[in-house]
Structure 1
Amino acid sequence: MSIANAISNAMSGLVATARGTETIAANLANVMTPGYARRELAVGPQGFGGGVRIDGITRIVNASLLSESRLATSAVGDSSTRAAFFGRMEDVIGLPGGDGALSTALTGFRTALGSAAARPDDDIRLSEVVNAASALATRLNGAADAVQAARGMAQQAIASDVAELNASLERVAYLNAQISILDADGKDASPLLDERQQVINRISDIVPVQEVARDRNKVALFTAEGAVLLDGSVPAKLGFEGAAQVTADQTVGAPLNLLTLNGAALTAGQMRLFGGGSLAANFAIRDELAPQVQQELDGLAFDLHQRLADADPSVGAADPGLFTDGGARASAAGIIGLAGRISVNALVVPGQGGEVWRLRAGLQAATGEPVGQTAVLNALVGAIDAVAPAAAGTGIAGSDSLLGRFSTVEAHVVSRRVGSEGELAIRSGRLTTISSSLMAEGVDSDAEMQRLLQYEQSYAANARVLRAVDEMMNQILGM
């Protein structure tokens, strides 16, 4: 080997050692950085003369684990969104027997009626019935308002998810182009590859996403159900329009919207293409879960309204009873949103010109005499306690007392919350396991330090060659 070849080989070794050391330093510095993939220096022999050729920097990524992690992230996003909704519903509807529960407000109203029936001549006790009835109506109103507020929040979250998804897809398309340019120039695109991985991870919170490798280090993105998000230079464009406030009578198409994909409106069947993440969960809350709770609340309000109207013999078929639908008689045809509109009949509210004696005499009675009559009050108590079949069109099945129905709805809400949290725990545990496996596949500081020692030895060996060459040159020049 000539002296020139020896110098060239040693210098190539020193350059490779320097690049390798930089790679290890970057790995150690980013050991906890999300989205960072471990780097390794790729080297090979430099032609027939020997030496080391740097072929580039290789990112070490377990594509299978990364894909599983993204799908698990989407599942957690779906479950956490649903669990948060059911938690809010439990807070406003209450636990059976809890201080803030609907059934507790009904029990307070029933107790006030029983107390008034024992002393129908006591206007204070009759006033307490009115107050308890108002408290019950207010609790129903508040629960219904909370349901619509949750639908409005879901509507806004959908708009936010769509905006984030579009922006992220644009960013992936841009990074694809930049990575392709660097790859064609033979430059290291690892930082951009890391960023692209992080952006795709953010997309996976919204929809389950699958990544497919394309030429020149580009990637294509599809949802788990096959919708094309990005395959080429132009990403898909999702659209969504909707007011921030949602009312109980609004349904899909009247006037609530679904997604549009590249300007074309998706049908309810096509929406499954985007199922599985926070986006789908918010649509489920707006269009299915919250309306189900609203239907149950409306059924309770209608049952309350009908029982007490039918128990008062002075109330005609078209007249409202103790509880009204905004002052009128409620009907099964107009039951949607009743829980948000139900109120106490103004005929018994002193502040609205009413008289409390109508509770003992009947709402439409001409006089409150005699003051000792208890038939109407006892009939109201009996109506609450009676086991009766649910009215048609209310969405409530079976026969039960009014308190039993209130407690059943509360138990349903609790059961859904517990079920959703259980599902969230399972999916979170799976994500944690996969994330741990990804971390194990990532930067191992002990292994990196061992590689650093190897580079140190390589550096010393190449430096020794250069020193030997220097000594030989000095001897030659000194002859």
Structure 2
Amino acid sequence: MTLTSAMNSAKSVFSNTGEQSQIVSKNIANAGNTNYVKRYTNVATTTDGATVVSIGRSEDLILQKQLLTTTSDSAGQDALLDGLERLKSVLGGNDYELSPSTYMAQFYNDLQAYAAKPGELSLAQTAISSAQDVANSLNKVTGSVQDVREQADLDISNAVTNLNSLLANLQKVNDKIVSLTATGGDPNDYLDQRDTIVSQISSIIGVTVQTRDNNDMVLYTSDGTTLFESIPRNVTFQAKTTYDGATTGNSVYIDGTAVKFGVGGDTSAQGTIAANLQLRDEIAPTFQSQLDEVARGLITVFDDSGVPGLFAWSDPSNGVTMPGDPLPAGTVYPGLAGLITVNPDYVSAQGGDPTRLRDGNSVDMNPDDSAGYTGLLTTYMDGMTSDMTFDPDSELDDSTSLLNYATDSVGWLEEYRSNASSASEKKTAMLQRSQEAYSSQTGVSLDEELALLLDIEQSYKAASKLLSTVDEMMQALLTATG
């Protein structure tokens, strides 16, 4: 080795260790940053020694794809479970003590007690009070169900706004990456930013990623709709401020294509938008239809010869006040559970007579005013326990008793919520494992970086020793020729 080549080798080592030290220091500084991907130097060997030719990122596209998928799955499942938990709380929590079925069971018991002693006015008043509890429960639960739909609609609106903002930021970062890559610059910091943005997008809607020349990114939704290609696609949604049993929410459109809502308790929804659409447009409306069918069943069972009996209803939006015509069997009247009330003719505080429950309202079924008459009360109790026809679209048995139907409705919601809860635990665990695997592959290990820093230090010391030796040889040569 000549003195010149030795000096060039030392110079190369100094240059390399300087760049490598910067990279290692940057890695160590970002050891706790989950949005940072570990850097490394690519070294090539030339006639003058090893030279750093580029700086790379420890990216893993397969693990990143898995992480994006599990992020979408977990976010969608959690959003669905949150909505189902709100519906459960509306019914009183674990024991469902505020559910219409609970109040209906008590009402039935009070009817039995009154039938056992039909001459007791206090028992008649108790039965009417229980009937009011049933109607109030249906009214309140209906209002809460629509509140859940309104909140889901608001969450969708906020998610769409956030998504459009993220896509706009993605365009800026992606343009910078393409420019730096094409001109030989270092796009790594911007690549980290882009990965972070895509991860945030994946919690809103499921995405797949494709990378083209110059690190240009194309983003698709999980069902294949283009979300970003050089420029963001238009994501639109028109929110609604109020909901009732007959309200249909608006769709979310990406480049003119409607986003599909998820299916099932272990939902297929990827991201919060699809999950909230499922909650707003599928789960809550189905539960509402069950409540409406319970209300229709009560009105039908207690119908008084074609005029309002114990349970009446009115629909101001249609100009209908306590109609006498019976509601069609097996057909949901949207929002009926929010309209049902107890007929004032039976309520003492409103000038009514509770004994009408025993004797009839429009037609006197007990003309002799017999204190022991129970015929009508027995008919009502039989009506609550005998099979009747319900709308099959409500996803419950379409031929069962009114009491069983109300109980089955609670069971339907609890099964949905239980499945969603189990799926949430599973998907959260899968997300954690994906994060750990991705971090293990792309994150910074302090032990590895510190070990590499020691290697760099040794290389620097060796180059310093080589340079010192060359200097001594040069001094000796100059002395000898002096």
Give the alignment partner of residue 349 of structure 1, picking from 332, 339, 347: 347
Describe the superposition over 1:85-106 as per-residue Cα deviations: whole angstroms up to 9, x where unpaired: 2222233235796433332211
Residue 241 of structure 1 aligns with an amino acid whose one-letter code is Q
Match of 1:177 in 2: 175
Write the distance in 2 (CA, Å) between the matches of 1:270 and 1:129: 43
Query: Aligned to 1:166, what secondary structure does the other structure show?
Result: helix
How far is 1:474 from its partner?
A: 4.6
Q: Which runs of 4+ in 1 moved over 6 A?
A: 268-272, 366-369
Write the distance in 1 (CA, Å) between the matches of 2:82 and 2:380: 38
Query: Aligned to 2:276, what secondary structure does the other structure show?
Result: helix
Give the alignment partner of residue 137 of structure 1, picking from 135, 141, 164: 135
Q: 1:352 to 1:472 in 2, by over 3 A?
A: farther
Give the alignment partner of residue 212 of structure 1, picking from 204, 210, 213: 210
Describe the superposition over 1:57-93 as per-residue Cα deviations: whole angstroms up to 9, x where unpaired: 1001110010011111111122222222222223323
Query: Aligned to 1:245, what secondary structure does the other structure show?
Result: coil
Give the alignment partner of residue 321 of structure 1, picking from 309, 312, 322: 309
Query: Aligned to 1:221, what secondary structure does the other structure show?
Result: strand
1:73-472 equivalences under 5 Å are: 73-93=71-91, 98-232=96-230, 234-251=231-248, 256-262=249-255, 264=256, 266=257, 276-309=270-303, 315-317=304-306, 319-326=307-314, 328-329=322-323, 331-332=327-328, 335-364=333-362, 370=369, 372=371, 373-384=373-384, 386-391=385-390, 395=394, 397-442=397-442, 443-472=444-473
Q: 1:460 to 1:409 in 2, by over 3 A?
A: same
Residue 250 of structure 1 aligns with an amino acid whose one-letter code is T
Structure 2 alignment gaps of length 5 or more: 315-320
Query: Aligned to 2:341, what secondary structure does the other structure show?
Result: strand
How far is 1:221 from its partner?
A: 0.9
Give the alignment partner of residue 64 of structure 1, picking from 56, 62, 66: 62
How far is 1:14 from its partner?
A: 1.8
CA RMSD across the alignment = 2.8
How far is 1:422 from its partner?
A: 2.2
Write the distance in 2 (CA, Å) between the matches of 1:27 and 1:368: 93
Residue 435 of structure 1 aligns with an amino acid whose one-letter code is Q
How far is 1:344 from its partner?
A: 0.9
The count of residues paired between Structure 1 and Structure 2 equals 462
Write the distance in 2 (CA, Å) between the matches of 1:328 and 1:155: 32
Residue 233 of structure 2 aligns with an amino acid whose one-letter code is A
How far is 1:7 from its partner?
A: 3.7
Contact 1:358 / 1:365 at 8 angstroms: preserved in 2?
Answer: no
Structure 1 alignment gaps of length 5 or more: 310-314
Give TM-score scaled by structure 1 length. 0.88
Describe the superposition over 1:400-442 as per-residue Cα deviations: whole angstroms up to 9, x where unpaired: 3322111111111111111122222332232222222112213
Residue 331 of structure 1 aligns with an amino acid whose one-letter code is L
Q: 1:198 to 1:392 in 2, by over 3 A?
A: closer
How far is 1:200 from its partner?
A: 0.2
Q: 1:432 to 1:96 in 2, by over 3 A?
A: closer
Write the distance in 2 (CA, Å) between the matches of 1:130 and 1:275: 45
Write the distance in 2 (CA, Å) between the matches of 1:90 and 1:292: 15
Q: 1:270 to 1:115 in 2, by over 3 A?
A: closer
Q: 1:343 to 1:175 in 2, by over 3 A?
A: same
How far is 1:228 from its partner?
A: 0.9
